[in-house]
Amino acid sequence: MVTVDAEPAPLAIDLATTALVIIDMQRDFLEPGGFGESLGNDVSLLAVAVPPAQALLAAARQAGLLVVHTREGHRPDLSDAPAAKIERGAPSARIGAPGPMGRILIRGEPGHDIVAALAPLPGEPVIDKPGKGAFYATDLAEILTARAIATLIVCGVTTEVCVHTTVREANDRGYRCLVVSDACGSYIPAFHAAGLAMIVAQGGIFGWVSDSGRVVAALA
């Protein structure tokens, strides 16, 4: 057992039943010249999360934690993309349309890849998810159950969308969720701050929040 300094209170975790879940650190969201930037977003707001996530990933691997990576994306024929999701946005910026790094949010396209700095190692599960939450229409629950995982350390992008949706799904499924603030990012700083504040409000209604320095120190 180790104790992580966190808000709203320190969290004791058993490393044998803890997993690191890294949400959607994909080239199209994070890299200059990708889909996110083509929409006018400042991708540097997401890129700042990469070094803390790298430190967290190295510490988790060193501590022997299960490491799970996720990617948001769809099959090339869009058979797993609901019309209500595809229809949104300008036609040129819709899921499946050609983007600067291949078809937008389509599996197998260069922009769908995880950034090189956080590349999964062989054997680390990569969850391809069609939704915002990592549990919806994936086998994440089965993978975690097989390893008797009870606590999730969560980071990635974006804080208020896929990180938050995953944490809410996990919280309802009974997992303790520890979100690592500086290893998450959003194109909208106010949403990043609000997303983190929502997690710890009301005594930790969705979980706990800490930062990479404190989590890495606890894992060492």
Is 182 designated active site? no
Q: In terms of CB distance, is 161 or 200 closer to ligand C5J?
A: 161
Among 7, 21, 24, 170, binds ligand C5J (CB under 6 A): 24
Residue 162, interface with ligand C5J (CB under 6 A)?
yes
Q: Is 137 left (phi over 0), alpha (psi -120 to 50) or beta?
A: left
Residues in the chain: 220
Rg of the chain in Å (alpha carbons): 17
Residue 118, interface with ligand C5J (CB under 6 A)?
no
Residue 72, interface with ligand C5J (CB under 6 A)?
yes
Residue 161, interface with ligand C5J (CB under 6 A)?
yes
Q: In terms of CB distance, is 161 or 178 closer to ligand C5J?
A: 161
Is 85 designated active site? no
Residue 210, interface with ligand C5J (CB under 6 A)?
no
The alpha carbon torsion through 126, 22, 165, 5 (nearest 10 deg) reads 150
Residue 181, interface with ligand C5J (CB under 6 A)?
no
Interface positions with ligand C5J (CB under 6 A)? 24, 72, 157-158, 161-162
